[in-house]
Amino acid sequence: MDYQKLKSIIEGLLFMAGDEGLTKRQLADILEMDADFASELVYDLQRDLQREERGIQITEVASAYRMTTHPDHAPYFERMAYTPTRAQLSQAALETLSIVAYRQPITRIDIEEIRGVKSDRAIQSLVSKDLIEEVGRAEAIGRPILYGTTKSFLDYFGLASIRELPEPKHIDVDDALDEQTQMLFERLDGRQMTIDELKE
């Protein structure tokens, strides 16, 4: 396969892997190639992104490669996160948040198994709003990130502690998820706080 096409595939794989990233062994297994060659492709792609001054870069964390934003652009990302129009909780974000709140600590994969859809964007949105955070790593292949709620989450929903979350009546997972999401929504008392309000 063409060298440039392989790098393009790796870029897509790392994007799909999100904050968990992929090790060179995982890339090698997916691409059916030697691990050292996979690593060489990653480093070459990394240099391409730097040379072209792209807005994303590849970093290596805990032996896993992952896509990250450029640190020099951080002020703009903060401005976007704190823009009131972007501080609303969407249905997807609220549903994801309810899963984390009631089942924490939990991995992205487990969240997606419960929701039945990809949840990268919802998770990133909740992290940027400081409603959920990384609380550890699971003892599983790849050491996936475990997510839990933050103090800001308690403030956001007016809770003294996580133990004050209302208990759902349903046992069925789907019904319980709907009920948990609805209960969180009701905690907002018909309003959506902005990040600026949360900071105050």
Question: What letter does residue 82 receive in the DSSP assignment?
Answer: T
Read off φ and ψ for residue 194, nearest 5 degrees. Answer: -90, 165
Q: What is the pLDDT of residue 195?
A: 37
- Residue in 93, 92, 101, 106 with CA at minimum distance from that of residue 167: 101
Q: Mention the CATH class of domain 76-199.
A: mainly alpha
- Cβ atoms of 13 and 64 within 8 Å: the answer is no
Both tokens of residue 67?
């896509």
Q: What is the pLDDT of residues 21-31, one digit of tens each?
A: 899 999 999 99
Q: What is the pLDDT of residue 160?
A: 81
Q: What is the pLDDT of residue 23?
A: 93
CATH 1.10.10.10 residue ranges for the chain = 3-69, 76-199
pLDDT (mean) for 121-149 = 90
Q: What is the pLDDT of residue 170?
A: 47
Q: Model pTM?
A: 0.49
Kindly tell me if the per-residue pLDDT of 117 is higher than 60: yes
Q: What is the pLDDT of residues 28-69, one digit of tens each?
A: 999 999 999 999 999 999 999 999 988 889 988 878 999 888
Q: What is the pLDDT of residues 106-116, one digit of tens each?
A: 999 999 998 88
Residue 190's pLDDT band (boundaries 50, 70, 90)?
very low
Please give the Cα distance from 91 to 108 (Å, whole number): 17
Q: Is 54 left (phi over 0), alpha (psi -120 to 50) or beta?
A: beta
End-to-end CA distance of the chain: 55
Domain range 3-69, CATH architecture: Orthogonal Bundle (1.10)
